[in-house]
Structure 1
Amino acid sequence: MQTQDRTNVSSVEAAIAASQNYLLSIQYPDGYWWVELESNVTMMAEVVLLHKVWGTDKTRPLHKAETYLRREQRSHGGWELFYGDGGNLSTSVEAYMALKLLGVPETDRAMKNARDFILERGGISKTRIFTKFHLALIGCYSWRGIPSIPPWIMLLPESFPFTIYEMSSWARSSTVPLLIVFDRKPVFITDPAITLDELYAEGAGNVKFELPRSSDWTDLFVILDDAFKLAENLNLVPFRQEGLKAAEKWVLERQEETGDWGGIIPAMLNSLLGLRCLDYDVADPIVERGLQALDRFAIETEDTYRMQPCVSPVWDTALVMRSLVDSGMTPNHPALVRGGEWLLDKQILDYGDWAVKNKQGKPGAWAFEFVNRFYPDVDDSAVVVMALNGVQLPNEKLKQAAIARTVAWIATMQCQGGGWAAFDLNNNADWLNLLPYADLKAMIDPNTADVTARVLEMLGSGNLSIDNHSLSRALDYLKNEQEPEGCWFGRWGVNYIYGTSGVLAALSLVAPQSHGNNIDRGAAWLVSCQNPDGGWGETCFSYDNPALKGQGNSTASQTAWAIIGLIAAGEGTGKFEKDAIDRGINYLLATQQSDGTWDEAYFTGTGFPGHFYLKYHLYQQHFPLTALGRYQAIFSK
């Protein structure tokens, strides 16, 4: 072994030890790992609005929210959807609204800069529907410009071509309570009462409160919306009261004991708004639990108060456990045992919304959050199975029974296209994304390459099985989803680097011979987009512009994904891209900090492609550890 190789081995060992020590130091006593899940300032802005609507703003440290919002404003005057995006109009309007609700005057320098940024980009009239909706709640936009959603959709039978279960789980849990809000069209008086007339580029007196038209067949939806509005004005909405009662019942039934709805801020906010429109009292235990659940999503520091869009303890715990095992920790290490037992206790044994379209499956999955009985997901469940398979627990029989139950559930969730979606079965009515209400283009949950790859990786890594026909359909799906360049789209991580890494990890385990060409093409694409510094990076803008596939400043998490994918490809075909892998490892070694951590400013998680992004603060820690551990296992023998 050359001196350089020995030095590299020693450096990898030291980096692994430092990373492991850091991760062990932040484990919670109950056994789980959990850190911040960051999005953008609209989460905080909308929570400020909600507390103003309920009159609960004086009981929360919202003065610290002002400090947070000011710190997040960029030099151009706006606020970002994701780090480095140059500012986003809708995000900036909501941040400006929140600051004004918090008493910041228009004359404040931050407000002047924000106003200039907003007006240069077209003002309120150019914002997304959900921004306009929040403004309408306080009289700063007219309900005439908000789509109508008739409450009778709650009553449509399963045999009908459309029901609420054709919407994605996140759209469904957010939309059902809005049936109540959109029906009532409230205008709440806040303290202080505000206007936002200064944010209309065309002048407040010249605003056309109407839905945008596209001059194509989709304008039929706008015409239909006009008909809904006419029926509302004439009080001719059929089954209106029955639909509203069904929506209220649905919302109440889906509140967790902890007060959460859907495990996400939009569903929680909208449910509380729906209850407010139904004249629930702030002291009602349902409302009180809901507000307390919101509080648990908040992060308060000495001088700031900010809101997470969701919390991710199950996801964080399973991925950290995998990284510790991959990096050489013994399977029965006490920290892994605590983590494994905590995960077992979180398995969901209740039927959720998934059972509406999946009549065969039996419960046995995991959700993303601490509590979310109605919305377990395939991606989390597959990762938890892999984490549990990698550790040795005192009650192995219980562990194996839990795994078997999960694999059986996942098998029943395979979609018609051959792949797997996140939360639902055959949730692919793409026309829903054309509705005026759906300008975030996130109304459905179709099967995707990254979730499908996770399922196949779970099967291959744990010697688990589904029937051959199902496996063949999944492999065909992944083959057909490969892009001409050789990469795969990443729905839940940014972006093609994430998708390609996941698919290579899967194919190398379950189909290295039959899909060797697909593996080679994927690996070659990863090598082609390696940065000069040895790392990999990809901008969130690649969702809007596919020409940016694999392009962006290097990050620790995306570099780790690329290394993981390349190592997997080499294990599958026997052809390792050793030079590219070594350069990637050296990037991770060079950027690791003295406490064993990595830092990255960029967002590498995806909520809604093109519209909502996430920064998982643990991605930059456990994925590099996984990459280093797998590298050590292969090349340091």
Structure 2
Amino acid sequence: MDDTNWSRLDDAVRKAHGVLMDKQEGDGYWVFELEADCTIPAEYVLLEHYMDRIDEELQVKIGRYLRRIQGEHGGWPLYYDGKFDMSASVKAYFALKAIGDSPDEPHMVRARKAILQHGGAERSNVFTRFQLALYGEVPWEATPVMPIEMFLLPRKAVFSVWNMSYWSRTVVAPLLVLAALKPKAVNPRNITVQELFTRPPSLIKDWIRGPYRSRWGHVFKAVDVAIRPLEKRSPKWLREKAIKVTVDFIMERLNAEDGLGAIYPAMANAVMMLKALGIPDEDPRSVAAWKAMRRLIVDYGDEAYCQPCFSPIWDTGLAGHAMLEAASGPEGVQPEETAERMTKAAEWLLSKQILDVKGDWALNNPTLPPGGWAFQYENDYYPDVDDTAVVGMMLHRDGNPAYEEAIERARHWIVGMQSSNGGWGAFDIDNNVYVLNHIPFADHGALLDPPTADVTARCISFLAQLGHKEDRPVIARGVEYLRAEQEADGSWFGRWGTNYIYGTWSVLCALNAAGVSPTDPAVERAVEWLKSVQREDGGWGEGESSYEGGPRGQYKESLPSQTAWALLGLMAAGHRDDPEVQKGVAYLVETQKEDGTWEEEPYNAVGFPKVFYLKYHGYSQFFPLMAMSRYKNLGHTNSRHVQYGL
């Protein structure tokens, strides 16, 4: 890179660094918007009508948002520029009608036509049918049998809620109470959507008919048919006991800051459950639950939408890494001011470390002391190892001795969270009773939290960065897990980010941190794959369709966040000086806007593959800054290896 281009790179780093400086909150943390598909804002609209707590002004703004993101196919997709999705379309149509849109308006006619052409609302997913049942739009027979008595089952029982993932457990708990009580929405405007069904719901008998992912699906369909009449005859004393145990579980986890589980579906179900139990809206528990919901609203003035949750710990950890990378090296950007900012960030993070609550994870390791971080502001029962590893690496990189105790607590917790196959899941140990993903309720196929390559990679990176001799066997088992998970083409699947580019970047960083040679066949195959999917303009991009059988590592345009991931992965593998890396860095420099930001409309992450996708608004800012800064810093050393695990 000549002097002119180096100067442009230096300028791009400074501008991007300045953007992050400006976006840091006064308390020291970063938090960016986290956007999902239309289902969350649509569900929020319907929740206001369910509760008869309608905010007219807000609903108008959400209506504008929903109309804008309607697809050309007439319905609504699960991600930017995606294909028609039945459940998203039914909810969006229902919400718009509740807001006041006439069924005769052109956009509503197009949506209704698309829904009917795809089989009608009766073919929507389980969670949508539960919502329709709560409004009386479908009979409760449209939903799978989920007896609340299952909350009484011990951990060793296959169908115990303790074998589900954290998100499933917190969503299911209040939903089981609702299914047992069978309340009906207040619905003050008597909004109905019977026109979305191909035949009257009262005449439909085949609500549960797949698609089945294995023979177990057919088995559990038969079980559903068999136990449905029995479920209605559950002894009153047993049902009351189950409701009490379930409600107690919820109330214990219903924190005042972020609600139940700190994720929208659980929070919304808890709000409806409280009303079904007869708890007044003025009750402190109801007030706190509703306030937590309202905090998720993003209001642009003319438009508004509801986020699925907050991501301050994750954003702060990743933004901190980018800031530290930009400030390091002989040409570091504002090193003194950055150090001051990072001290504030670290102090805020230290205040959020979970040290006195043994969450649900402790069921599988009851002697393990807590020491992790959650994803959100307050979610003490559900820390995750991914956030903990990222924060731990950031604090360790900062080098302040005052952070050593917190880092050691995090290290000990992550070591104790390793699953038996050597990998790590996000929230639980050995959360892999795979048969649960085949019950009728789990038509989304995401009831579990098994180990994944990207999360495992972060844990390895953290432990390797710390360098404790006693952790070597733990790291070695993790590396073997990663080797076994590598795809035939050399890539790795990205469970929490889109997708194979994200997974491959994560693993290459971990292998480098763990001391795996750049000439190792697994590394060489991954490098070859990354280079093979680079686009003509020098960037990289990957669509969410890669989760649905679409091409891996490919998209119709290059994207800043995914270009940065590919670059970081290649540099971790020792390829800093390769022409592909230089072209990728040039792409980032050339596509940066004058204000120091990058544009990225497509989604860049996933909640549940094929079901729920996400757009982290911060990804297009801190990852390009991290990649460009690392390229600069490696240019001033004799080594072409990354020193840190991200």
The farther-off stretch of 79-88 and 245-254 is: 79-88
One-letter code aligned to 2:246: A
Tell me the CA shift for residue 220 of structure 1.
Answer: 2.0
1:226 alignment counterpart: 225
Tell me the CA shift for residue 247 of structure 1.
Answer: 0.5
1:413 alignment counterpart: 417
Tell me the CA shift for residue 124 of structure 1.
Answer: 0.5
Query: Does the 8 Å CA contact 2:256/2:289 hold for their aligned counterparts?
Result: no
1:375 aligns with 2:375: no
Equivalent-residue separation in structure 2 for 1:339 and 1:404 (angstroms)? 19
Please state whether the residue corresponding to 1:306 is helix, strand or coil.
strand
1:366 alignment counterpart: 373
Tell me the CA shift for residue 160 of structure 1.
Answer: 3.3
2:348 alignment counterpart: 342
- Name the CA shift for 1:121/1:237 in 2 (closer, same or farther; >3 Å): farther
Equivalent-residue separation in structure 2 for 1:567 and 1:548 (angstroms)? 21
1:450 alignment counterpart: 454
Cα offsets for 1:273-322 (capped at 9, x unmatched): 22222121111111111000001111122122210001001110110010
Equivalent-residue separation in structure 1 for 2:537 and 2:205 (angstroms)? 51
Equivalent-residue separation in structure 1 for 2:281 and 2:30 (angstroms)? 33
Tell me the CA shift for residue 462 of structure 1.
Answer: 3.5
2:599 alignment counterpart: 599
Equivalent-residue separation in structure 1 for 2:206 and 2:226 (angstroms)? 16
Tell me the CA shift for residue 508 of structure 1.
Answer: 1.0
1:618 alignment counterpart: 618
1:480 alignment counterpart: 484
2:128 alignment counterpart: 131
Tell me the CA shift for residue 539 of structure 1.
Answer: 0.9
Equivalent-residue separation in structure 2 for 1:123 and 1:427 (angstroms)? 35
Please state whether the residue corresponding to 1:548 is helix, strand or coil.
coil
One-letter code aligned to 1:385: G
Equivalent-residue separation in structure 2 for 1:502 and 1:380 (angstroms)? 14
Tell me the CA shift for residue 60 of structure 1.
Answer: 6.9
2:97 alignment counterpart: 100
- After the TM superposition, which residues 368-407 of structure 1 pair with which residues of structure 2 at under 5 Å, given as runs? 368-393=375-400, 396-397=401-402, 399-407=403-411
Tell me the CA shift for residue 466 of structure 1.
Answer: 4.7
1:77 aligns with 2:81: no
The farther-off stretch of 16-25 and 330-339 is: 330-339
Tell me the CA shift for residue 51 of structure 1.
Answer: 1.5
Give me the TM-score of the superposition, normalised by structure 1: 0.95
Query: Does the 8 Å CA contact 1:231/1:237 hold for their aligned counterparts?
Result: no
Give me the TM-score of the superposition, normalised by structure 2: 0.94
2:115 alignment counterpart: 118
2:183 alignment counterpart: 186
- After the TM superposition, which residues 296-335 of structure 1 pair with which residues of structure 2 at under 5 Å, given as runs? 296-328=295-327, 329=333, 330=335, 333-335=339-341
Among candidates 491, 495, 498, match of residue 499 of structure 2? 495
Cα offsets for 1:88-137 (capped at 9, x unmatched): 22111100001111222211222112111211211102211111111111
One-letter code aligned to 1:179: L
Equivalent-residue separation in structure 1 for 2:127 and 2:348 (angstroms)? 37
Cα offsets for 1:255-283 (capped at 9, x unmatched): 11325111100110111122222121111
Equivalent-residue separation in structure 2 for 1:225 and 1:534 (angstroms)? 53
Tell me the CA shift for residue 603 of structure 1.
Answer: 0.6
The farther-off stretch of 578-587 and 270-279 is: 270-279
Please state whether the residue corresponding to 2:606 is helix, strand or coil.
strand
Tell me the CA shift for residue 235 of structure 1.
Answer: 4.7
Please state whether the residue corresponding to 1:226 is helix, strand or coil.
helix
2:535 alignment counterpart: 531
Q: Root-mean-square deviation (CA), in Å? A: 1.9
- Name the CA shift for 1:581/1:254 in 2 (closer, same or farther; >3 Å): same
Equivalent-residue separation in structure 1 for 2:488 and 2:396 (angstroms)? 35
Equivalent-residue separation in structure 1 for 2:552 and 2:598 (angstroms)? 25
Equivalent-residue separation in structure 1 for 2:469 and 2:612 (angstroms)? 35
1:257 alignment counterpart: 256
Equivalent-residue separation in structure 1 for 2:483 and 2:58 (angstroms)? 52
One-letter code aligned to 2:390: V
Query: Does the 8 Å CA contact 1:152/1:238 hold for their aligned counterparts?
Result: no
The farther-off stretch of 109-118 and 245-254 is: 109-118
The farther-off stretch of 146-155 and 415-424 is: 146-155
2:360 alignment counterpart: 353
Query: Does the 8 Å CA contact 2:139/2:202 hold for their aligned counterparts?
Result: no
One-letter code aligned to 1:336: M
Please state whether the residue corresponding to 2:305 is helix, strand or coil.
strand
Query: Does the 8 Å CA contact 2:463/2:475 hold for their aligned counterparts?
Result: no
Equivalent-residue separation in structure 2 for 1:454 and 1:589 (angstroms)? 27
Cα offsets for 1:164-194 (capped at 9, x unmatched): 1110000001001111111122232412112
Query: Does the 8 Å CA contact 2:540/2:558 hold for their aligned counterparts?
Result: yes
One-letter code aligned to 1:50: L
Tell me the CA shift for residue 499 of structure 1.
Answer: 0.4
Please state whether the residue corresponding to 2:67 is helix, strand or coil.
helix
Equivalent-residue separation in structure 2 for 1:35 and 1:392 (angstroms)? 26
Tell me the CA shift for residue 514 of structure 1.
Answer: 9.2
- After the TM superposition, which residues 514-529 of structure 1 pair with which residues of structure 2 at under 5 Å, given as runs? 516-529=520-533
Tell me the CA shift for residue 337 of structure 1.
Answer: 1.2
Cα offsets for 1:464-491 (capped at 9, x unmatched): 4553322221111011011111111100
1:294 alignment counterpart: 293
Please state whether the residue corresponding to 1:34 is helix, strand or coil.
coil
Query: Does the 8 Å CA contact 2:175/2:269 hold for their aligned counterparts?
Result: yes
Unaligned 5+ runs, structure 2 = 328-332, 638-646
Please state whether the residue corresponding to 1:239 is helix, strand or coil.
helix
Tell me the CA shift for residue 553 of structure 1.
Answer: 2.3
Tell me the CA shift for residue 629 of structure 1.
Answer: 0.7
Tell me the CA shift for residue 218 of structure 1.
Answer: 2.4
Cα offsets for 1:525-581 (capped at 9, x unmatched): 1001101111101111111116434455210000000000000001xxxx5561110
- Name the CA shift for 1:500/1:238 in 2 (closer, same or farther; >3 Å): farther
Please state whether the residue corresponding to 2:607 is helix, strand or coil.
strand
One-letter code aligned to 1:94: K
1:54 aligns with 2:58: no
2:162 alignment counterpart: 165
- Name the CA shift for 1:95/1:538 in 2 (closer, same or farther; >3 Å): same
Please state whether the residue corresponding to 1:333 is helix, strand or coil.
helix
Query: Does the 8 Å CA contact 2:564/2:624 hold for their aligned counterparts?
Result: yes
Equivalent-residue separation in structure 1 for 2:178 and 2:206 (angstroms)? 18
Q: How many residue pairs are counted as aligned between the two chains?
A: 627
Tell me the CA shift for residue 151 of structure 1.
Answer: 1.4
The farther-off stretch of 249-258 and 15-24 is: 249-258
The farther-off stretch of 144-153 and 290-299 is: 144-153
